[in-house]
Structure 1
């Protein structure tokens, strides 16, 4: 009798343990209309406030990397919504900048290339050469005058190469898009060579995460290694934008997909119970404040991976919906996305009434893929 009771108790205990895990597997799912409405509200708020400072942000130059990241998400939203007003907004930016990449930090700096992602996507829609030519000439110059600098941070002209992880979102997708559009593999070859050099330098093979730059190789934060959420979000989202331009089965495709899957596996383990990723990925207990830019980019990457058959839906769908639901908690009634960590290079602080354009870009990227998943 005691043996039978023991078996029954064990089974009951196991059922309870499984039940405790069910909320993660049964994360609340939104309808397509709900996702669409949320994206529209956030996009409209951002456009309305684009030229005005406030909510913790200043007005950035149109070619600034912050805006470049916004345009990536806004371009995806423009294509999804099929409302010409959003494409017109982006085209107006291109006309204002004369379709040139940024120049404030120098010709080689990855941040100045970010806006090129929007230019090339608009070129795909219209075929107007003026949208393509300045970017192509800019990258041609770099190919024929490549930077000879070291990846070490404390060396001259070090940011002429991609020696900080943010750069892997800013510049490589531009090279991949240009290669696909023109059919010229020299752009892809250059990008892959430089990307591998950066990854060999900044990627921690044990954690499957990127250091922001070599200043963090030996740094500790509350006793944990410092892997910045948004920094890794830049990489994870950037990988999707690269892979989308590659031919399946090629060596380049296999390389980037393998890296993407490694990061996905680790990032899944690091998502917090409330759906966010902490600003310091290994130090969630020390950074309990929600943060939406890293969370937005991670959610986008996971959803894109599922939609494109790279990540298994059964393994990762709950991660996506938890991330999306967490983001929804940070959108105000009028459409402002809060809890965006300000410009920086390491874990820090975020506030409910502070936003930034790159956070909105991440949100719109995520929403575009979530819309495809929604019923």
Structure 2
């Protein structure tokens, strides 16, 4: 009996090594630098079988920049800020080509963060002009999938990461209530349409409502990761006592509680959030966004540290375990809109962005000194 107990103890210890590994701020910074440098070196690579690299202003790279600018604020030299500035200058600080489409607004978050540091008005002028046009000429489309011009509004959950934070940032910068009012109206419409009030998760879009996968509702991990990280980025821009902040906080807390319940034993979140047994493969992009949002919540006094820190620690150690010795983050699910597959030797730029965002909050959480 004693031998059996000893064997079980050994199994338990080895199965929890990643969870038990102590997180040191210096190690967080080191792995973030390695991942950031690898991604810059491979910025124009093709991914997931694509024939051409992503456009520098595409949402894929926009998500990368959001994490990279957080890393730039932590780094010991300005090369990361310079890299981001060069992209903006080459593209004349324009957003991507579709005026209303949320994906093509994503890069605006990086532009505004650079403006905050360098105070150069040209960095945000095109974004302000385009968003002023949109709020003065709002789309009249409906949120049902594949109706005319349907993606001119936020009718897929990924959009809630891409565009709303830009609106909140512009409100914060300018003090113009119209930016905030537009964002609130559209965000509420999207949430009323896509949020499952029982599961406290978002459907990716209308196509997945009422549809089952192995008997479970389909809640795509990265899709909900987009939402959860976006909530943190929006609330960063709002006054905590405001009614708008409290609206987002309510959604955030519901999602955080659900995420606590459904984390896998390995530390990641399943690609179909309610279908762990059917999707055992690790996935790092959605999981990294959850770690970012949860760590942010602890750092801002929103989530109870005792309750959530184990989840965050376990998740971060799992993510670090999927970084190659060269600095590539593996197990990033390719572009898509539903649960699927991921591979140890495949990555994507938005996964790197999520990882760097997560690292920025992990660094603070474990007593890093970030000014």
TM-score range, shorter chain: over 0.9
CA distance in 1, matches of 2:20, 2:70: 25
Contact 2:164–2:187 (CA under 8 A) maintained in structure 1: yes
Query: Any residues of structure 2 matched to 1:116-195 within 5 Å, and which?
Result: 116-195=108-187
Matched, 1:94 2:83: no
Contact 2:19–2:314 (CA under 8 A) maintained in structure 1: no
Q: How many correspondences in the alignment?
A: 355
**Considering only aligned residues, what root-mean-square deviation do their CA atoms show, in Å?**
1.7
Matched, 1:295 2:287: yes
Query: Any residues of structure 2 matched to 1:31-50 within 5 Å, and which?
Result: 31-50=24-43
CA distance in 2, matches of 1:49, 1:250: 42
The answer for the alignment partner of 2:59 in structure 1 is: 65
Match for residue 23 of structure 2 among 30, 42, 63: 30
Give 1:154 deviation, angstroms: 2.6
C-alpha distance 89-345 of structure 1, shift in aligned 2 (>3 A) = same
Contact 2:18–2:318 (CA under 8 A) maintained in structure 1: no
Q: Classify the secondary structure of the residue corresponding to 2:157.
A: coil
Matched, 1:324 2:301: no
Match for residue 247 of structure 1 among 231, 239, 246: 239
Query: Any residues of structure 2 matched to 1:270-349 within 5 Å, and which?
Result: 270-349=262-341
CA distance in 1, matches of 2:49, 2:68: 21
The answer for the alignment partner of 1:203 in structure 2 is: 195
Indicate the structure (1 or 2) with the bigger Cα radius of gyration: 1
Q: Classify the secondary structure of the residue corresponding to 2:23.
A: coil
C-alpha distance 24-258 of structure 1, shift in aligned 2 (>3 A) = farther
CA distance in 1, matches of 2:254, 2:366: 26
Q: Classify the secondary structure of the residue corresponding to 1:348.
A: coil
Give 1:52 deviation, angstroms: 2.4
Give 1:70 deviation, angstroms: 0.3
Q: Classify the secondary structure of the residue corresponding to 1:278.
A: coil
C-alpha distance 89-315 of structure 1, shift in aligned 2 (>3 A) = same
Contact 2:18–2:314 (CA under 8 A) maintained in structure 1: no
Give deviations 1:281-314, integer Å, cap 9, x for gaps: 0001000000000000000000000001111101
The answer for the alignment partner of 2:71 in structure 1 is: 77
Tell me the TM-score normalised to structure 1 length.
0.92
CA distance in 1, matches of 2:18, 2:28: 20
CA distance in 2, matches of 1:161, 1:27: 44
CA distance in 1, matches of 2:48, 2:182: 39
Contact 2:102–2:162 (CA under 8 A) maintained in structure 1: yes
Give 1:56 deviation, angstroms: 4.8
Give deviations 1:44-87, integer Å, cap 9, x for gaps: 00000102225756511111000000000000000011420000
Contact 1:176–1:188 (CA under 8 A) maintained in structure 2: yes
Q: Classify the secondary structure of the residue corresponding to 2:138.
A: coil
* Dislocated runs of 4+, deviation >4 Å: 22-26, 54-58
CA distance in 1, matches of 2:137, 2:76: 40
C-alpha distance 23-289 of structure 1, shift in aligned 2 (>3 A) = closer
Contact 1:292–1:338 (CA under 8 A) maintained in structure 2: yes
The answer for the alignment partner of 1:52 in structure 2 is: 45
Give structure 1 stretches of 5+ with no counterpart: 1-15
C-alpha distance 333-26 of structure 1, shift in aligned 2 (>3 A) = closer
